[in-house]
Each structure stands twice: as structure tokens, then as C-alpha cells.
Amino acid sequence: NAGVMQNPRHLVRRRGQEARLRCSPMKGHSHVYWYRQLPEEGLKFMVYLQKENIIDESGMPKERFSAEFPKEGPSILRIQQVVRGDSAAYFCASSPGDRGPSNQPQHFGDGTRLSIL
Amino acid sequence: AQRVTQPEKLLSVFKGAPVELKCNYSYSGSPELFWYVQYSRQRLQLLLRHISRESIKGFTADLNKGETSFHLKKPFAQEEDSAMYYCALSSGSRLTFGEGTQLTVNP
């Protein structure tokens, strides 16, 4: 089991461009979570998704950020018109979800380091 | 709202010394607490969770609801324990993390 796979590991964008971050959960996991870690800070929850559904997006900025987890393929975190303040490490985690998310430890990917020039 | 506080950003001990990484939380419900560890150049991984009451790599953590704490302890630190440690609280769908403590174990 390869674990949670995120790509790319590093992403550089200029201000105003779009950033797409991908996350493939562990095999058998149907719940995906995205977290953001700004420099010198802890991880902050952004969004929780199940296949084709956004369950909790209370941590997502209201504008420019969106997330999806389609029936087929990886989960995508999309940031439109990036700004310098979007520079951060973005981590994805997954869990099986068959007993409810609060009972399932989350397994993390290596993260994507986004740098905005 | 839930909150996790790790008061020490940096902690340095000598090999063989006891180590305690502090974690305090605030949460109105019944908390589920975790410790995650990130070794150099590796991904964040689960170290232990309070409901399992395990000892992993010699580490233990006891939930103290009266003091709202979940401190991580090890009686004899090893050099390979040097890493970033995060305390986290689960409330339904999300984990709330502390800001982490960088532990360095010196030879």
C-alpha cells in the first residue's frame, strides 16, 4: 500500500496563475481531508470530502479556493488567481471512514509545497 | 471552538534523559486526542491516540480531563526521537493541530 500520494511535491506559480494540487488516498480509503501549513504555524483544517461530496468546507477561504473528489481519480485542491499569501505546504490525509471519521486515524501524504513568485 | 496549545516550540534534551512534550486543549465535548510525529524528510505519521492507551516507541500520553492536558512522555530519550511532534484533537470530521514542538535529543 503506497499510502497517500500527493503531487506535485513542489509547485511554483506566479501571482494570478492557477494552482492544482492532487491527492490520491490510500487504497480502500473513501474520506479525504486537506490541511494547510503556513510558515512557522501548525496545520489548519481546510476541507473534508467523500467521493463526489463536500462534507465540511468550513476551513476553506471563501474565494479562489475549491476542492473536489470525483468518483474516479484523485482529489483536487484548486487555487485560482494565486497570491503571495497562498505560499504554504498543503497536506492531504485520508481515512477509511467506515466507522465514522472521528474514529478513524488520518494518514497523511508528503504534502505539496506551493511557492508564489 | 476547539483549540490545541503546545507551549514549547523547541525542546532539547540529552540522550537518556526523560522528555515531556506538553499539550493542552480546549473543547466543549468529549475529546479524542492524538500525537503525530514528523521525522526529518518524512511524512506526518500517527504516533499514538489516547483511546488505545498504547505505548509506541516508548512514548505514552495520558488524557487528563481535569487539567485538559495530553502530555507526551518518554522516560529515556533516544537520538532517533529527534523530530517534530504535533498534538491534535479530533472533533467529528477535522483534526485541530497544535503548532508543534521540535524535539532535539543530543548525544
pLDDT digits (tens, 9 = 90+) for A63-104: 999 999 998 999 999 999 999 999 999 999 998 875 544 557
Maximal CA-CA distance, chain B = 42
- Quick one: which of A33, A73, A23 has its CA closest to A55? A33
Q: Which three cell numbers stand for residue B66?
A: 481535569
pLDDT at position A24, please? Answer: 97
> Taking chain B (107 residues) in consecutive chunks of 10 residues, what is each chunk's mean pLDDT?
92 97 91 91 88 83 92 96 95 86 96
pLDDT at position A101, please? Answer: 47
Q: What is the pLDDT of residues A20-68, one digit of tens each?
A: 999 999 998 889 999 999 987 889 999 999 988 999 999 999 999 999 9
Distance between B34 CA and the closest CA of chain A, angstroms: 9
Question: CB–CB of A44 and B34 under 8 A?
Answer: no
**Residue in B36, B95, B99 nearest the CB of A45:** B95
Asked whether the bond before A8 is cis by omega within 30 degrees of 0, the reply is yes
